[in-house]
Amino acid sequence: MKLIKNSAGRFVPDQINGKKQIPFKGVDKHKPTGYKAKPAIKTCIDYPSDGNKIVKSLKDALTKAGLKDGMTISTHHHLRNGDVLTNYLFDTIKQMGVKNIRWFPSASFPCHQHLIKYLEDGTIHHIEGSMNGPLGRFTTEGNMKGVGVLRSHGGRYQSVQDGEVHIDIAVIAAPTADPFGNSNGVTGKSASGLIGFALADSEYADNVIVVTDNLVPFPCVPWQIQGNNVDYVVQIDSLGDSSKIVSGTTEITKSPDRLLIAEYVAQFIDEAGIMKDGFSFQAGSGGTNLAFVLFLKERMKAKGVKARFVRGGSTKYLVQLLEEGLTDYILDGQTFDLEGVRSMRENPNHVNTSPFTSYNFHGKGNFASIVDTAVLGATEVDVNFNANVVSHSDGYLLHGIGGWQNCLYSKCTILAIPSFRDRIPVILDDVTTLCGPGELVDVIITERGIAINPKRKDLLAKLKKSSLPIKPIKEIRDEVNDICGGAPQKPKVNKNKVVAVVKWIDGTLLDSVFQVEK
């Protein structure tokens, strides 16, 4: 493995896990060539004509799917921190004596700490997907056999569609399914909303196993996953605890500082002229981003403005907008609470989307760039508006990318962040890990000041007379450094040991995460 400096000035490996890589070439600079992945042609002759694909156990399904060493197995995070199936899946794989699995989750959560023993004993070779919390810590300390690969939700779809990642077996947790394999996430005791993160897997994996704790007679309606793409259906007692889809990142903030940020965001969107009839917005997860919705709502009501659509991750706050007639649609990629699940089940204007529709950069356009404004979080930003969302300033990889990179394409991308956390400044000279190139970040809003990207002269002009504390970003940085006693120390890392890489939405390598030396 050789490190190459990419166009963002970041050092990335020329290959990962034995596969050649393309370094990041700049925003909108890499044009793909070639063709999409081509799954084998199947025939109804090989499937039960009565449509009953039920097999007696997950082990049985894995055996029929030809599970063997070195395969790629995918799972999905619709149940978020309430997921039980993935741990059970790897218990089963371990029991079957199979090794060196590439685990390809759409995201992992702290509940998957259980899998560390399988990373240690060689059952799992490496993870391609977010490594939140404990798995991230394990990886950052150099304990994972292979190199982790972090992708956005759109990048995950792109990688499967383009044939970069070939999935041998997809295991889809389905809160409701029929024996044919039609499945959804809106009904059943484990209802967690939509299950669109499994779409690419269902379309392209060699073997697709649907696991459900709520089997209904054919047809399971709606079918968010189509049985025509499914090989086996397995019934188990419980997929997990859907109440745990609500987590720290999906509850509204109570912090006065963060509420102030949220208020600034709403005021900014209003004064920038974005908040007008027929507009659209997306709020990422995280307490501040949720809170701004409440402030924006008040402004919308006061001015009689109605949105055409809002993007979820949906929460009860977005559902209220829909139910009060303040938006025509919620276009939802993931329900963040049970009110979101209920609304998606009951309201035809609460529409489920997938990473294909919303985020895939290798399609004929996607939804992300149509959105008027996206309000997102970040772990760090820098004076060039570059942003980090996966690691902390201590070098530890603790979060996934989610749809964050994809959402940067909105017409006005706002990062709403506290200026410091635990007395560590959030605005740096250089982010620890580059996840979002500064040219796609339009505004940074902190409790201490608002910085508009100098590229956005239009916004600077529109906000000229605003009462908002708009300042050059370096001024905010200096102020925060003064409060915190200087910029954070650079982490001590082993520059020869890449533990994970961050892919850009086009499949190129944007940055590396290095082993932290304890």
> Taking the complex as a whole, how short is the minimal distance between the CB of residue 479 and a copy of itself, in angstroms?
35
Does 118 help bind a copy of itself (rule: CB under 8 A)?
A: no
Q: Which of 2, 45, 56, 256 binds a copy of itself (CB under 8 A)?
A: 45
**3-class state of residue 184 by DSSP:** strand
Binding map of a copy of itself across residues 226-265, x = CB under 8 A, - = no contact: xxxxxx----------------------------------
Does 36 help bind a copy of itself (rule: CB under 8 A)?
A: yes
Separation of alpha carbons 295 and 291, rounded Å? 7
- Judged by CB under 8 A, the stretch of 247-255, 346-354, 391-399, 475-483 that binds a copy of itself is 346-354
CB 102 within 8 A of CB 130: no
Q: Tokens at residue 495, please? A: 């520059």
Does 164 help bind a copy of itself (rule: CB under 8 A)?
A: no
- Judged by CB under 8 A, the stretch of 26-34, 74-82, 260-268, 423-431 that binds a copy of itself is 26-34
Q: Which of 10, 53, 78, 316 binds a copy of itself (CB under 8 A)?
A: 53
Does 180 help bind a copy of itself (rule: CB under 8 A)?
A: yes
Instruction: End-to-end CA distance of the chain: give it in Å, rounded.
Output: 23
Distance of CA 84 to the CA centre of its chain: 20
Q: Which of 65, 71, 93, 208 binds a copy of itself (CB under 8 A)?
A: 208
- Judged by CB under 8 A, the stretch of 298-306, 366-374, 383-391, 489-497 that binds a copy of itself is 366-374
Structure letter (DSSP) for residue 436: B
Does 363 help bind a copy of itself (rule: CB under 8 A)?
A: yes
Q: Which residues lie below 8 Å from residue 312, measured CB to CB, with a gap of 6+?
A: 282, 318, 330, 331, 332, 333, 334, 335, 336, 340
Does 42 help bind a copy of itself (rule: CB under 8 A)?
A: yes
Distance of CA 303 to the CA centre of its chain: 33
Separation of alpha carbons 277 and 327, rounded Å? 10
Q: Which of 82, 146, 148, 181 binds a copy of itself (CB under 8 A)?
A: 181
Does 315 help bind a copy of itself (rule: CB under 8 A)?
A: no
- Judged by CB under 8 A, the stretch of 5-13, 145-153, 219-227, 317-325 that binds a copy of itself is 219-227
Does 360 help bind a copy of itself (rule: CB under 8 A)?
A: yes
> Taking the complex as a whole, how short is the minimal distance between the CB of residue 37 and a copy of itself, in angstroms?
7
Phi, psi of 235 (to 5 degrees): -105, 130
Separation of alpha carbons 502 and 397, rounded Å? 11
> Taking the complex as a whole, how short is the minimal distance between the CB of residue 34 and a copy of itself, in angstroms?
6
CB 92 within 8 A of CB 348: no
CB 250 within 8 A of CB 335: no
Does 409 help bind a copy of itself (rule: CB under 8 A)?
A: yes
Does 473 help bind a copy of itself (rule: CB under 8 A)?
A: no
Q: Which of 9, 26, 39, 454 binds a copy of itself (CB under 8 A)?
A: 39
Q: Which residues lie below 8 Å from residue 255, measured CB to CB, with a gap of 6+?
A: 287, 418
Q: Which residues on neighbouring strands pair with residue 103, listed in sequence order?
A: 73, 127
Q: Which of residues 379-408 bind a copy of itself (CB under 8 A)?
A: none
Q: Which residues lie below 8 Å from residue 258, measured CB to CB, with a gap of 6+?
A: 287, 288, 291, 418, 447
Separation of alpha carbons 339 and 2, rounded Å? 49
CB 287 within 8 A of CB 258: yes
Interaction site with a copy of itself (CB under 8 A): 28, 31-51, 53, 161-162, 180-181, 208, 217-219, 221-223, 226-231, 278, 308-309, 329, 331, 348-349, 351, 356-357, 360-367, 369-370, 409, 411, 506
